[in-house]
Amino acid sequence: MDIKKNFTGHLSTINAHKAEVMRLCFKLGLYRQGLMHDMSKYSPYEFLNGVKYYDGHKSPNNVERRITGKSTAWLHHKGRNRHHFEYWTDYGERPGDSMKGIKMPVKYVAEMFCDRVAASKTYNKENYNDSFPFDYFMKNRSHYMIHPDTERLLGKMLLMLKLYGEEDTLRYIRDRIIKNGDNY
């Protein structure tokens, strides 16, 4: 492992991803979320694991998970960042109920949309197209523990991106979804 290469590569990846999420969030009027997005990735706990498992082609969390069976950086990250549906899980209302997804506030669903678009752009670089985030969502959603309403809203946003492109989708999210609030 080349520590210097991994350090600069991982830092560059985080910074590029964060800059793209910020750009997208700002277009939605989510200024605070754009500025604060993924700040925990700079914490030693997440950053050092990112450097250790960096390979330049996929999330270090996936590499760590493949090698060790879990990603301690991801476990730390998802518990501190409300734009991840995994943050929004809890037990049901009655004793003995199993875990379930909780309906997310719309501003975090919108940030999750931005996060997924930015991740697709960051990892696919010049090969990216607007269908990538939707296709990834569809391929993996069967194992998500996500509230059905949140899943539908995220799926709608990602499908709109695929069909109508970034600018029209961002305008729709800003003017129709975010303005409507949590009544989705």
Q: Rounded to an integer, what distance in angstroms lies between the CA atom of residue 146 and that of residue 116? A: 15
If you average pLDDT over residues 129-145, what whole number do you get?
A: 97
Q: Which residues of 152-174 are buried (b: 16+ CB within 10 A; e: fewer)?
A: ebbebbbbbbbeeeeeebbebbe
> Over the stretch 58-69, which tens digit does the pLDDT of each residue have?
899 999 999 999
Show the tokens assigned to 118: 């930015």
pLDDT surpassing 90 at residue 173: yes
User: What per-residue confidence (pLDDT) applies to 133?
Assistant: 98
Closest CA to 22 of 46, 42, 38: 38
104 near 147, Cβ under 8 Å? yes
Residue 91's SS3 state is strand
Residue-range domain boundaries for the chain = 3-180
Largest CA distance in the chain: 51
pLDDT surpassing 90 at residue 93: no
pLDDT band at 28 (very low <50, low <70, confident <90, very high): very high
- The structure tokens 């754009």 sit at 34
Residues 6+ apart with CB under 8 A from 175: none
Query: What sign for the dihedral angle of Cα 108, 27, 42, 2?
Result: positive
pLDDT band at 129 (very low <50, low <70, confident <90, very high): very high
> Over the stretch 75-91, which tens digit does the pLDDT of each residue have?
999 999 999 999 999 99
